[in-house]
Structure 1
Amino acid sequence: MSVTRRGLGALGAGLGLLPLMPRDAAAQSAVVMMEPMPCLDRQGDIVALLLEGSGAPAGAVVTFGQVFKAGDLPRGAGLVARLADGTALPVQADVLNRHEDGSARFAVLALAAPQVGRGSRAGVILSRGRAAQARAFDVTPLMARRSITIELNDQAIDLMALLAESLARRGARPFQSGPLAVQMRVVTPVDVGGVTSLRMVSDVTLRADGELTVELWMRNDGAMRPGGGAVGYRVRVLLDGQEAMAAEIPRHHQYTAWGRLMHTGAPVPLVRPDPTYLAEAGATPRYDLTTGVAAGLLGTMARQIGSEDWAQPFNSRGVLRAMGSGGGRPDIGPMTQSQAAWLITGDPRAAMHAIGQAEAAGSIPWHYWDTEAGRWMDTRRWPRLWTDPRGGPPPGGLAQRISGDTGWSLAASHQPDLSYLPWLLTGRRAFLDGLQAQACWCVIGRWPAPRGTAGRPGVAEGVNVVRGNQVRGSAWSLRTLTNAAWASPDEDATTPWLRETSQANWTWVRQQIPRWTQAQGEAHGWIPGEYGVRGALPPWQQDYFAAAAAAAARQGSPDARAVLRWMENFLAGRFLAGRQGFPPNDGAAYLLAVNADAEARNPLKTWAAIGEATRSGNLSNGDGWSKTQGDYAQLALQSLAQVIDVTGSEDAARAYAWLSEADAPYTRDEDYRRNPLFNIVPRGKPRVPSRVMRCR
C-alpha cells in the first residue's frame, strides 16, 4: 500500500499543526514545559487557551473540541471569545452533550483566529455572554466555486453534489451549523469487486473564511451482511481539481478503516488546551505540569512522525499490534504516553503523535457497523454475539470472521485508549467513531458466559465486563466504556446503550462490596479477578482499576465513587499497615500472596497473614525494592493521587506522602520527565512547587 508525496503533505497540513522543527543537541537534553495561560480576569470568564501560530491569515477558522465544567455554560447562555488584550473574536459553539443541570459538557467550537506568526502564540479567553442568533452562513457561494472529487478505481464521485443533497434533505442535522462553520457527514456505500461491507464516510466542513476541510475515511466495517470481506482499490482525492491525496490499497481487511484529513488554504493554528481546566471538568486525570517532559522524548515522537512509514494507511504508528504483550508500554494507561505529553506541554509534536495514533486506531479490527440500525453493533440487537471465531455462526458470531492476517491480535487486558482525548481536543468525528466502536467491542468481544444473559434478572446481565475477567481487562474495558458514555453526543444512536452499559457495570461492582468485604476482612478493598498466578494478587492491577473508577467518579457516577471509597482501604492500607505486620514496601511489590481467586472465596483476611504469606512465597521487598523493578510504585502513586482528588481521603494522603519520599524505583522527577504516562498528582501537590505556573 502506498500514499503519494502529495498525500503526505495533505496529512500534515490537514492536522492543522506546525511542521516539525529540527532540534539541536542542547534542546534534546532540555525539558519542555507548558506555556502559561492568559488570566481570567472578568466576570463570566470560563477557560483560556493558546493558539500555536501557523502563519494563516487573520480570520482563518479553526475548529476544535472543548469540555466545560458543570454550570460554566448554562443552557441558553452564549459563548464569546477575546484575545488577552480584549479584542473580540468570532466564535461558534455546537453543544453535543450536557450535564444533568442542562449546562454544556462538550461542544465543537469554531473560532475565527487572529493572525499568529509561525512559532508564536496568542492567548484566547472563552466567556459566557449574551446568546446570539447562530444562523448558519450561506454556504451556496462557497459550494459553487469549490469542488471535491473522489476517484475510487474507475468511479468518479462528486462529493460536493452529494453534500448539497445531504444539506437539502428534510430533517438534515449538520454536525456543526453556525456563522463560522457548517459540517455535514456524507456516507456513501461503494461497490468494489462485489464486496458489500465497504463504505466511504466523508466529514466536510465549509468555513466562513472561504476554505473547506474534508476528512475522508474508507471504512470496511459493515457486519452481518452477505458479501462482506477484504477488498483492494485505488483512491484519489481532488480538491478544486488539485490532487490532495492518493493511495493504493491492495488489501483492506474487513472491520478496519483508514482516513485522512485534508483542507484548502493554509494550515490553521493548533489549539493548546488548559489541562488544569480539563481535570477540574472531570475529563482527564490531574497531570503534573511542573516536571515538564524531556525534549528527547518529544524529539523521538517527531522522528517517528517524520518517517515515511508513518503516513502509510494501516500503519500502527507505535501501537503494539500484539495487544496481549505485557511490560511497560507507552500506549497503555489512563491515557497514552503521547496524550499525557500533549496535556503536560501542549507541544505540537506530542499533539501530532497522539492524533496520528488516534487515526491508526482505525486499523484495529474491532469496528463492527450495524448498517440496518445505523450504529455500532451492541447487545440490543445482538445479545448473544461474540466476535471471537468461537462465537460460531450468526447470531452467536460474525457472518464473516476476522481475518487471521490483519497483523493485530486483540486483548481487552491490554487495550489502549487511543481515541478519547483526541476526540475531546479536536472534535473530529472519526475519533468519536473509533471510541464508540472500541467501547462496543469491550462487550461483544467478551465471552458471553461471564458477561451474562440478556434479560436475566440482575444488574449488568448480558453486558458484564468485570465478572470473571482479569482485573486489568475489567479496568481498561470500564475506562473505555465510561469515557465513551461520557463523551458521546446526547442524540447519537449509540449513546443510550453506552450509558446504560457503563452504569450497569458500576452498579454491579458496587453491589458486590458487602460480599467482598466479608470475604476479605481487614485488608478489604481489592477487586477479585483472574490473575494467572494461583493465589497471588498483583496490586498494580488494582491501581489500574482505581484509575478507571476515579475517571467514572469524576464524570459523575455515584456508584464508581462508592467503589473507589471502598478500595481506599486496600490502596492506602498496604502502605500504612506496618504495625499490623505488613511491610509498607510490599505495597508496591509485583505480587502479594492473598490466596486470591476470581470469586474471592477464601482470601487471607489480615494484613499480618498477607505479610507472612508474601514473605514465605519469596515475594516480599522487605525493606528494599527488589520486587518492584518496574513502574509499580508509579502506578500506586497515581491511584492514590486520584483517590485523594476524588474522595479527599486522609489515609490516601498519608500513604501518598510516604511513598513519594520512599525513593521507590521510577518515582524521581527525571523518571516522569522521560515517561509522563503516570505523572498524576493530587490537587495542590505538584512535584516541583517552585515551577507552579502563574497565568499571564
Structure 2
Amino acid sequence: MRLTRRGLAATMGGLAISGCANPAGAQGGVVQAAPMPCLERAGDVVGLVLEGSGAPAGRIVTFGQVFRPGDLPRDAGLVARLADGRALPLQADIKVRHADGSARIALLSLAAPALARGARAGVILSRGAAGPGAAFDTAPALARHSAILHLGDQRIDLLGALRQARQPAGLWQSGPLAVQARLMQPVEIGRVTSLRVVADVALLADGEMAVELWLRNDGAMRPGGGAEAYTARLLLDGREALVAEIPRHHHYTGWGRLLHTGPPPPLPRHDAAYLADAGAAPRYDLSTGVAASLLASMGNRVQEPAWQQALGPRHVTQQMGRAGGRADIGPMTMPQAVWLQTGDPRAAAFAIGQAEAAGSIPWHFWDSAADRWMDTRRWPQLWTDGRGGAPPGGLAQPIAGDTGWQLASSHQPDLATLPWLLTGRRAFLDEMQAQACWCVLGQWPRQRGTPGRPGVAEGVNVVRGNQVRGAAWSLRQLDNAAWATPEEEPNAPWLQEAAAANWAWLRQQTPRWTRSQGEAHGWVPGEYGTAGMLPPWQQDYLASSVAAAARRGNADARAVLGWMTNFLAGRFLMGSAGFTPHDGVAYLLAIRADADAGNPIRDWGELGTAMRAQSMTNGDGWRKTEGASAQLALQALAQVMDVTEAGAARVAYEWLRKADAPFTSVADYRRDPMLNIVPRDMPLVPGSVPRCR
C-alpha cells in the first residue's frame, strides 16, 4: 500500500509534531500541562491555550469544547479574548445541550492571533451578548476552490455538498468564520456495492478550506458487500493532496484523513480540570507530569512510515482478547490520558491518529436504507458474530477472518470519544456511534434479551451474562455515545434509550444482589474463567464507567455507584472483621468457599478465611497483587469520592495511597499515566498543579 501527501499542508488536525526529547514544559525529564489563563471577569467560563504553528493572524482553528451545565445558557452568546484583553472573532455551533438547555458540546471556530511555532497564547471564553452571526457568503470561495476525488475511474466533486446545502438546516457549521457540510455518496467498484464516500468540507473566512475525506466500506445487509481494491486520488485546488493505493479494503471498515489548503492552524490545549467538572473525562492528576521519554516515543512513532498507512492499526492491539498491560484499555487510552495531562502536540497527534485507526476495526455496520448505524430498532434479532447465521439473525456477509482484527467487548478500547469532544471532527462522532451500536449487536441475543419482553433493558442488555469487564467497557461506550451525540443524529434516540435502560436494569438488580452477597455486597456478578473466584479489578473497571455516568447526572448510575462503594471501600476497611486489607487488590478473591458452592460468601471474616485457606491471601505484602491492580482500585475510589464524597471511600483511598502498593509511586504514574486519576483537590504532588496565569 502506498499513501502519499504532497503539494499542500496536510497534517492530522493541523498538529505540528516534534520529535524532541525535552520540549518546552519539560523539567527534569517530565512534561506538565501549560498553565491556563486566569478567569477574572464576570461571565468568564473557561480558558484554553493556543500553541502556535507559524500561521498568520486570522487563521481559523476549529475545535470542540465541552461545557458544564449552566455555564452557557441557551440565550447566552459566547465571546473570546486573549489574556491581554484583545477580542478574538469566535463562532460557536452548539451540538449538544444539557437538560436545562445550556450548551454541553460546541464546535468552536476561532480567528487565532499570529503565533510562532511553539509560542503560546491564553484565550478566555466568556458569556456575552454576541450572537452567532450570519454565515459568510460562500459563493466566492466555492468559485475559487475545488476538491475532486478520483476513485478508480470515478470523479466525485466534494464541494457539491456545499453547493447544495446553502441553508443552515443542511449545514454542520454555519456562521461568520466557517461553513461546513457533509457529502455522503454510495459508490460501486467492480461488484462491490458496500462502499461510500463521506466527506466533511469546510470553507473558512480566512480564505482556506478543510476537507476530511473518508472511504467507508460499511454498507450492510444488502447484496454486493465485500472487500475491494482501488486507488484514491484527491485534488485540492487542482493540486494532488492525497494518493492511496488500497490492495484490500475489508468490509465493515473505513479510513480517512483531514487536510487543509493553508498552513496548519494552532493547536488548542484544553483545561483538563474543567473537562472533568463538565463530565467529559476523569479527574487526571496535573501535578505529577508525564515522563518526557514517553512523549518523545509518541512523537517518533507518528513519524514512522507505517503510521501513514491507510487502514493501519497505529499501535492499537488488534487481537483484542489479549490480556496483560494494555495502553489502549481503561477509562480512556493511555495516549488520551497523556494528552489531557500535558496538552502536548505529540500526545494529541498520537491519540487523534488512533481515532482515525478506529475506522479499520470491523465493527461498522451502516444501514443504508435508514441512513444510520444498525441498531435493534430495525434489527432486533441481529448478532454480528459469525454464529448469528443467516439474516436477520446474522449479517448478510459475515466479517472476514483475514481482517487482522479479533473483536472482544471485554477488551475494547475507546478510541474516539475524547478526540470527538476535543477536535469536533464529525468522523470521530461516527466512530463513537458505530462502536456503541456494535456493543449491543455484538452481544449474544439470548443474553441481551428479547425486545418487547416485559422487563428493563430487554433487547439491549450488555451486562447480563457478560464478563464484568465486558459490561464495563460496553456501558462506557453506550453512555459516552448517548451523552455526546447531537439530538438530530438518527441514532441518538436509540443510544439514549439503550444506555438509560442498562443503568435502570443495574439499579433494579441491586436489592437482589444485596440479599445474596450479605455484608460484603457491592460487586456485580459476571462470567469469569475460574469458578468460585471474583476478580476485584474488573469491579474497578466497572466503577470507572458507572462513575462517569453518575458524574454526568444519571441518577441510576449514581445509585449503583453508591451501592458498589460498600465493596469498593470495604475490602480495605475490614481488617478488624478478619479480612486482610492487602487482599483488596489481590488478583482474585475466593468469593465462594469452593468452586461448586452456589451462594457467595456473605461475611467479610469468612471471605478472609477462604482467602487464607486457599493460599490466595497477600498477608501483609503484595505477592498476590498483579499488574496495575492497586492503580485500578485507587482510581475507582477516587472517582467514587469525586461523585459521591462517600466517607468510607476516602478512608479506603487514604489507606491504600499510603500502603506502598505496587506501581503507585509518582514515578510509576509518570511512566504510565493512564490511571493517574485522583479525587478533587488531592494531587499526588501538592504545590505542583499548574496555576493560572
Q: Which residue in 2 is equivalent to 1:375? A: 372
Quick one: which amino acid aligns to residue 454 of structure 1?
A: P
Given candidates 459, 469, 476, the residue that maps to 1:462 is: 459
Deviations 1:499-536 (A, max 9, x none): 00000000000000110000000100000000111000
In 1, are the aligned partners of 2:22 and 2:292 still within 8 Å (CA)?
Answer: no
Distance 1:408 1:596, change over 3 A: farther
User: What letter is aligned with 2:577?
Assistant: Q
Moved more, 122-131 or 25-34: 25-34
**Residues in 2 aligned to 1:596 and 1:458: alpha-carbon distance in whole angstroms:** 33
Q: Are the equivalent residues in 2 in contact too, given 1:283–1:554 (CA < 8 A)?
A: no
Cα shift readout 1:355-407 (whole Å, capped 9, x = no counterpart): 00000000000000001111100000000000011101110000101000000
The correspondence of residues 153-172 of structure 1 with structure 2, limited to 5 A, is 153-160=152-159, 162-168=160-166, 172=169
Alignment of 1:335-354 (within 5 A): 335-354=332-351
Instruction: Let me know the Cα RMSD of the aligned residues.
Output: 1.7
CA contact (8 A) 1:530 1:598 kept: no
Does structure 2 retain, via aligned residues, the 8 Å contact 1:529–1:599?
no
The answer to whether the 8 Å contact 1:537/1:596 transfers is no
Residue 292 (structure 1) aligns with = 289
Q: How does 1:375-524 map to 2 (within 5 A)?
A: 375-524=372-521
**1:20–1:61 CA distance, 2 compared to 1 (3 A):** same
In the TM superposition, residue 289 of structure 1 has moved relative to its aligned partner by: 0.2
Q: How big is the shift at 1:304? A: 1.0
Match of 1:4 in 2: 4
Cα 1:415–1:435 change in 2 (3 A) is same
Match of 1:219 among 216, 220, 235: 216
Residue by residue over 1:598-637, the C-alpha shift from the partner in whole angstroms, topping out at 9 and shown as x without a partner, is 9995000001111111111121100000011310000000
Question: How many residues align structurally?
Answer: 692
CA shift for structure 1 position 119: 1.1
Instruction: Provide closer, same or farther for how the CA distance between residues 669 and 492 of structure 1 changes in structure 2, counting only shifts above 3 A.
Output: same
- Farther off after superposition, 589-598 or 523-532: 589-598
Q: Distance in 1 between matches of 2:17 and 2:250?
A: 32
Distance 2:87 2:565 in 1: 47
Deviates more, 1:24-33 or 1:123-132: 24-33
Alignment partners' CA distance in 2, 1:566 and 1:24: 46
Cα offset, 1:191, TM superposition: 1.5
Query: Is this contact kept in 1: 2:618–2:624, CA < 8 A?
Result: yes
* Mapped partners of 1:38, 1:563: distance in 2: 37
2: CA distance between counterparts of 1:122 and 1:296?
26
Determine if contact 1:84/1:125 at 8 Å carries over to the other structure. Answer: yes
Alpha-carbon distance in structure 2 between the residues aligned to 1:112 and 1:334: 34
Match of 1:559, as an amino acid? D
Q: Distance in 1 between matches of 2:567 and 2:658?
A: 20
Q: Contact conserved, 1:528 with 1:599, CA < 8 A, in 2?
A: no
**2:321 aligned with 1:313:** no
Q: Is the 8 A contact 1:196 1:227 kept in 2?
A: yes
The 1:428/1:600 distance shift into structure 2, 3 A limit, reads farther
Rounded to whole Å, the distance in 2 between the matches of 1:693 and 1:302 is 23
Change (3 A) 1:164 1:540: closer
Alignment of 1:118-267 (within 5 A): 118-160=117-159, 162-168=160-166, 172-267=169-264
Match of 2:687 among 683, 687, 690: 690
Local SS of the residue matching 1:476: helix
Which whole-Å CA distance do the structure 2 matches of 1:47 and 1:171 have between them? 28
Partner Cα separation in structure 1 for residue 674 and residue 75 of structure 2: 38
Indicate the residue corresponding to 2:645 in structure 1: 648
2:259 pairs with 1:268: no
SS in 1 for 2:591: strand
Aligned match of 2:57: 58
- CA contact 2:593–2:610 (8 Å) conserved in 1: no
Q: Secondary structure at the match of 2:6?
A: helix
Larger deviation, residues 626-635 vs 27-36: 27-36
Q: Is 1:30 matched with 2:46? A: no
Name the CA distance, whole Å, in 2 between partners of 1:425 and 1:166: 29
The one-letter code of the counterpart of 1:150 is L
Q: 2:625 aligns to what? A: 628
Where does structure 2 lack aligned partners over 5 or more consecutive residues? none
Residue by residue over 1:406-442, the C-alpha shift from the partner in whole angstroms, topping out at 9 and shown as x without a partner, is: 0000000000000000000000011000000000000
Partner Cα distance (1:353, 1:249) in 2: 23
Amino acid corresponding to residue 390 of structure 1 in structure 2? R
Between the two proteins, what is the percent identity of the paired residues?
A: 66
Amino acid at match of 2:46: V
Instruction: Write out aligned runs for 1:68-79 (5 A).
Output: 68-79=67-78
Could you tell me which residue of structure 1 aligns to residue 532 of structure 2? Answer: 535
Amino acid at match of 2:645: G
Cα pair 1:519 1:600 within 8 Å, conserved:
no
Structure 1 residue 133: Cα displacement: 5.0
Deviation, structure 1 residue 297: 0.6
**Distance change >3 Å, CA 548–CA 601, structure 1 → 2:** farther
| Aligned mates of 1:134, 1:552 — CA distance in 2 | 35
The AA in structure 2 aligned to 1:274 is: D
2:188 match: secondary structure: coil
Give distance in 2, aligned partners of 1:131 and 1:378. 40
Q: What is the one-letter code of the residue matched to 1:118?
A: R
Structure 1, unpaired ranges of 5+:
none
1:10 and 1:253 map into 2 onto residues whose CA distance is 29
TM-score, normalised relative to structure 1: 0.98
Letter in 2 for 1:606: D
Any conservation in 2 of the 1:466–1:505 contact (CA below 8 Å)?
yes
How many Å apart are 1:684 and its aligned residue?
0.7
Q: Name which of structure 1's ranges 684-693 and 539-548 shifts more when overlaid on structure 2.
A: 684-693
- Counterparts of 2:344 and 2:197 in 1: how far apart (Å)? 32
Cα deviation, residue 300, structure 1:
1.0
* Mapped partners of 2:598, 2:434: distance in 1: 35
